[in-house]
Amino acid sequence: VALKLRGPQGSKVGVTVLRGQETKDFIIQREPIKVTSVRSYMKNKVGVIRIKNFSATTGATVKETLAELKKKGAKTILFDLRSNPGGLLPGGTETASLFLKANQPIVFVVSNKGVVDAQETFSDGVDTETPIVILVDHNTASAAEVFTAALKENGRAKVVGEQTFGKGIIQTIRELADKNGGVAVTVARYETPKHNDINKAGIAVDEAVNVECPKDDALLCVPSTLL
């Protein structure tokens, strides 16, 4: 269905929809679909940035969002990463670099052959001073854990909530003969700035708190003393 609906921007496609026993015809104009993975709001001079997953555009979006929140008077930034499954590693590292000084380690990617790719900041980020708190839970994983560890272990943020999921490996799917399924092969693993292996271990929080507050009011989960 999706392949038939896709087409050049601005072109039109006819769709017939069955509702109960009745069919209806619609003409739809094709336009790009923008999936918003970053949302923000302000409360009590705390700018809250909720990231649902990391993508290639997350860093740029967070940079714009940060500027808007600071214009509104944000004195502290709270990142809500609850149930963030990760996404793209570059999205996590680029976003972390916005808040770190030059030459600080972000993550070490160690291949299954032992080759280490050390990723660090090249210049100061756009904000290396504003206090940051990161709210995580047991479903915070992968690139979200890379972001969290980078800020925590460089002394840039306090982490509250629950121990994170602990997905610190990179895998690829290799197809079996005769297309009889596939097998996941680990090709690399992540190490934090302090060379901690988080796979199946997760990231320990600085302060354990209840993470069941509403998605639109994360401040209810965080002790006021941290904000």
- The mean-pLDDT minimum among 12-21, 65-74, 177-186 falls in 177-186
Residue 35: band (very low, low, confident or very high) from pLDDT cuts 50, 70, 90: low
Contact partners, residue 213, CB within 8 Å, separation at least 6: 219, 220, 221
Provide the annotated active-site residues: 142, 167
d(CA 170, CA 16): 42
Mean pLDDT of 72-78: 98
Mean pLDDT of 122-129: 98
Question: 131: exposed, middle or buried (C-beta count within 10 Å: 0-12, 13-18, 19+)?
Answer: middle
DSSP state of 46: E
pLDDT value, residue 176 = 80
For the chain, give the percent of residues with pLDDT over 90.
80
Mean pLDDT of 161-172: 93
Report how far Cα 50 is from the mean position of its chain's Cα atoms: 9
pLDDT value, residue 72 = 97
The answer to whether the beta carbons of residues 205 and 161 sit under 8 Å apart is: yes
pLDDT value, residue 184 = 81
